[in-house]
Amino acid sequence: MSLSPRVPDIRALELLLAVDRLGSVGRAAAELGVSQPAASARIRGMERQIGVGLLERSPRGSRPTEAGLLVVGWARGVVEAAQALDAGIDALRGRRDARLVVVASLTVAEYLMPGWLLALNRVSPETAVTLRTANSADVAAHVLAGDADLGFVEGPGAPAGLAGAVVASDRLVVVVAPEHPWARRRAPLTAAELAATPLVLREHGSGTRDVLDRALAPYGGTAPPRLELASSTALKAAAMTGAGPVCLSELAVVEELSTRRLVEVRVEGLDLQRPLRAVWPVGRRPAGPARLLLGLTREPVRPG
């Protein structure tokens, strides 16, 4: 059932209760932080809306009329109920603001998010964080569905329906086991050679696969893969066991390259740089802990 147009708004009822308690429109206006002319206008508007006079005014102040006393009694219950509702909403917001749900692509989740979350814990230790991992396409779907407060994806642009901000950059590298013929190759690979070679690749929908597919599109696209795997860890293991060349994030193979368990193969004339970005629904900027985390991604991460 909709409310009658004769029912005043909460602010007007609060003002009427304050006049009844303080005996003056001026004192009531001061308590509620409005000017006396504005308070007087609000009272007159409420009287027109209800259709009866509510206050008797005199040089000594204002007091409710007989009808005004009845409205004051009814208004008190309405205002108290509104205050209870407001307190409940504040409590809900407090619980919500103490939680943060993040969904991130595997590269971001494994190699960047731990440092960011440690930084968040330093400045907001009361925030409980849930971190989920997914490929970039699924991250976008979760954020659009409202299942996460903030998402992190890999790739050249924000997915449809999402706004975003670049928070880091990354480079894809082609790596092989030390025993692979490419590891002893002196001349860099050409993009055409890479496109013609069956690789061990991430699945469709991952940011890594999307960037590689786009880069090799002018050369006929990627060849049918030797294997499709769903994580950087699986890709590294496949490369080290000799399954074939792998293309994955440089962040994922720093240790393996430094210890020569994997060897980077240079590729000529191919741009495999990619931005890593935070994303959120268009028109809904991150707030609370999500906004705080977004700010921390743009600061140098201090060691734990």
What gap in Å lies between CA 12 and CA 301, rounded to an integer?
51
- Is it true that domain 10-96 has CATH number 2.60.120.260? no
pLDDT for the residue 244:
93
| CA–CA gap between residue 277 and residue 294 (Å, rounded) | 10
Q: Say which residues have a Cβ less than 8 Å from residue 29's Cβ, sequence separation at least 6.
A: 15, 35, 36, 38, 39, 40
pLDDT for 6 equals 79
Q: Which residue has the tokens 């050249």?
A: 156
Listed in sequence order, the residues at least 6 apart from 90 whose beta carbon sits closer than 8 Å to its beta carbon are none
Measured between alpha carbons, how far is 271 from 255 in angstroms, rounded to an integer? 23
How high is the pLDDT of residue 235? 92
Q: Distance between CA 73 and CA 218 in Å, rounded?
A: 77
Looking at domain 100-296, which of 3.40.190.290, 3.90.280.10, 3.40.390.10, 3.90.320.10 is its CATH number? 3.40.190.290
Question: Which pLDDT does position 120 carry in this prediction?
Answer: 92
Q: Output the pLDDT for position 304.
A: 37
> pLDDT tens per residue, the chain (304 residues)?
566 787 888 889 999 998 998 899 998 888 778 899 999 999 999 999 999 999 998 888 899 999 889 999 998 888 888 877 766 665 555 545 578 999 999 889 999 999 999 999 998 888 899 999 998 889 999 999 999 999 999 877 788 899 988 888 899 999 999 999 999 999 999 999 999 999 999 988 888 899 999 999 999 999 999 999 988 899 999 999 999 999 999 999 999 999 999 999 999 989 899 889 999 998 888 888 998 999 888 754 443 3
CB contact burial 199-235 (16+ within 10 A = b; e otherwise):
bbbbeebbbbbbbbeebbeebeebeebeebbebbebb
Task: List the structure tokens of 23.
Answer: 């005996």
- Confidence (pLDDT) at 299: 55
- Residue 93: per-residue pLDDT: 57
Structure tokens at 188: 């860099």
Written as one string, the DSSP assignment of 106-155 is HHHHHHTHHHHHHHHHHH-TT-EEEEEE--HHHHHHHHHTTS-SEEEEES
What's residue 33's pLDDT? Answer: 81
Q: pLDDT value at position 303?
A: 38
- Show me where the domains of the chain are located: 10-96, 100-296
In this predicted structure, what is the pLDDT of residue 197? 95
156 CB-near residues (< 8 Å, 6+ apart)? 211, 214, 274, 275
Are 172 and 265 in contact by the 8 Å Cβ rule? The answer is no
